A and B are shown apart, each in its own frame.
Chain A
Amino acid sequence: MADVSLKSIRKSYGATEILHGIDLEVKDGEFVVFVGPSGCGKSTLLRIIAGLESITAGDLFIAGRRVNDVPPAARKIAMVFQSYALYPHMTVYKNMAFGLKFARTDRAEADRRVRRAAEILKLTPYLDRKPRDLSGGQRQRVAIGRAIVRNPSVFLFDEPLSNLDAALRVNTRVEIAKLHRELNATTIYVTHDQVEAMTLATKIVVMNQGRIEQVGSPLELYHAPRNLFVAGFIGSPRMNFVKGRVTAVTPEGVRVAHACGETLVAADAGHAGVGDTVTLGIRPEHMSEGEAEGLRLKGQVEAVEHLGEATYLYMKLTDGTDVVVRAPGDTAAVAGASLTIGASERSVHLFDAEGLALPRRGEAHPPRAAVA
């Protein structure tokens, strides 16, 4: 009913191009999260969908209709802004009803919708207050309420949680997920926080420098990142990268020489040949202390962070590479100690010289890698 379809969308300001041809299909009811570092163009893309920025080239369809030249209010969208953008001189009620006035909704219907939204968002006691008399979380909910009353086909969220404190952020995150389940409207959500992306999205769009790096479900991105950028961006602490060189291509996989020896990685070589530089990628949670079948690395522990349920070991390998290991909470490792660490060969990612992932064996299903 309300798919959003982007066909090679480009955006330039003068001579600088911000978006270099974005193609994307958002299906009805999906929760799509645009994630990427600041300046990657994700907010611009959202504002283009909202109609707040013009499109330099390409086509935008909402619910099958080309909307390039349709003003925001006629696109059946609603947007929640990072700063909430509540009208400071209007009460909560008026803030929510403001848009309905222009949509020529009749009074009784508008009133019904505002009250219903207030009920959903637990704002009923605050309807007569002004935004300045509300807490951050309440303001946030008013902003969402203002979007709900419009009955939009598509919800747009621009970093809505970044002004909240940590505890409230988690809370509101859960609320937004719940709301999406209830309303089942297409939602596009922008954030720079990969945890928000992973927890909320049915589909994540990773963006970098005005391009889409990868589109996929949260677990697809986690288990099968297409390139070094996505691999490094999704997951926390970020994936460790170790430089290596291909020494042999065998039916079992690719043999890679690195600072601490040689390892067989279960991956297709693709066009990579013997002698090529490659990068090994191992997530901290897939590494463990001691010898393991597969990858073996040696280094010195430089710092230890105890989190309770786990301990992060910050290590420097013999060739100077920095590596983080997620060890069990009760590890005996101390700063200064020399340590051997390992990871199963199935949990090792391999990237070629251009940074593109070499397909791992048995990729059809995300590998059930040993989680330390």
Chain B
Amino acid sequence: MSLPLRPRRMAVHGALLLYTLIAIGPILLILLNAFKTRRAIFSDPLGFPDGRSFTLIGFDSVLEKSEFGLYFLNSLTVTVGSLALVVVFGAMAAWALTEYRFRGNTLLALYLAIGIMVPIRLGSVSILRMMVEFDLVNTLTALVLVYVAQGLPLAILILGEFMQQIPRDLRDAARCDGVSEYRIFFSIILPLVRQAIATVAVFTMVPIWNDLWFPLILAPGDGKQTVTLGVQQFIGQYVTDWNAVLASLTLAIAPILVLYVLFSRHLVRGLTAGAVK
């Protein structure tokens, strides 16, 4: 019983290790070669950059030929702006739906849940028409509005589930003390669901940062490109400049990588808590 355990464990680790390599190998390969000369990229793609092959020429040309800093700022603005609104609006709505009983409560909850299954992308034709009408094409505002609408359903669902677990007594005690409904929400409930907000933040942020569709349709020019679209356009233009292509990919990966290292625990907790039911 104890004998075959060890080899079996080794096989398990072998399988996991192999898949881990498959998962991160390609990413490492890109990061590695972004710092190498063109010659080294082709002659020794799997080697680490050394004194002779190390170069930052790719990054220089990306920063020179594209407005990467601007794209980055655009992505940051859109992501942070959307995220803030999703969290605040989502928490408020989730609270109203879980705490108060009013006519049409269930119906409204269902209505707000449609967006979880039905991708807002399919409404793009009308969204573009609306944005043209409001004169919002090629603005970051257009993106923020769409992303808020896109992020709300899941945020309301997750936050609602957490809010349900807040003991009733806590709010009733506050009500007995004459605290207003707004104060109860902002100073008691919001701090209590910090954990859930972190989860919602990760779930909301990543798809927004990574999205190509809406930047392509709503804000493809005028220096309003996000990183994802910017990289896509840049690579389309400089396909043959391997150094620049690899460097631009590296620049696009880096912020997500940093964020992931910082927040992976929240993300995993959110996923494993069965938040996505």
Contact = CB atoms under 8 A, between A and B. Distances in A.
Direct touch of chains A and B (CB < 8 A): yes
Nearest to A71: B1
B237 interface: no
Contacts of B1: 69-71
Nearest to A69: B1
B14 to A, nearest CB: 24
Interface of B is mostly: loop
A54 interface: yes
Nearest to A74: B1
A71 B2 CA distance: 10
A70 B2 CA distance: 10
Interface in B107-135: none
Interface residues of A, number: 4
Contacts of A54: 2
Interface string B1-27: 110000000000000000000000000
A252 B1 CA distance: 60
A11 B228 CA distance: 56
Contacts of B2: 54, 69
Nearest to B3: A69
Interface string A62-78: 00000001110000000
B4 to A, nearest CB: 12
A80 B234 CA distance: 66
Interface string A20-60: 00000000000000000000000000000000001000000
Interface string A147-163: 00000000000000000
A172 to B, nearest CB: 32
Nearest to A72: B1
B5 to A, nearest CB: 10
B235 to A, nearest CB: 50
Contacts of A69: 1-2
Interface in A330-350: none
Nearest to B5: A54
A281 B104 CA distance: 67
B65 to A, nearest CB: 57
Nearest to A51: B1
A154 B1 CA distance: 21
A69 B3 CA distance: 10
A243 to B, nearest CB: 43
Interface in B153-207: none
A69 B1 CA distance: 6
A72 B1 CA distance: 10
A54 B3 CA distance: 12
A37 B2 CA distance: 31
A71 B4 CA distance: 13
A53 B217 CA distance: 60
A102 to B, nearest CB: 16
A286 to B, nearest CB: 44
Nearest to A54: B2
A116 B73 CA distance: 74
Interface in B70-109: none
A69 B2 CA distance: 7
B1 to A, nearest CB: 5
A71 B3 CA distance: 12
Contacts of A71: 1
Contacts of A70: 1
A70 B1 CA distance: 7
A8 B92 CA distance: 62
A74 to B, nearest CB: 10
A69 B5 CA distance: 12
A194 to B, nearest CB: 33
B258 to A, nearest CB: 34
A77 to B, nearest CB: 15
B106 to A, nearest CB: 25
B189 to A, nearest CB: 33
B158 to A, nearest CB: 26
Interface string A306-318: 0000000000000
A130 B2 CA distance: 35
A71 B5 CA distance: 13
A47 to B, nearest CB: 15
Nearest to A70: B1
A86 to B, nearest CB: 22
Interface in A156-192: none
A19 to B, nearest CB: 18
A71 B1 CA distance: 7
A33 B196 CA distance: 45
Interface in B8-58: none
A54 B1 CA distance: 10
A69 to B, nearest CB: 5
Interface string A251-290: 0000000000000000000000000000000000000000
B3 to A, nearest CB: 9
A72 to B, nearest CB: 9
5 contacts: A54-B2, A69-B1, A69-B2, A70-B1, A71-B1
Q: Which 4 A-B pairs have the closest CB atoms?
A: A71-B1, A69-B1, A69-B2, A54-B2
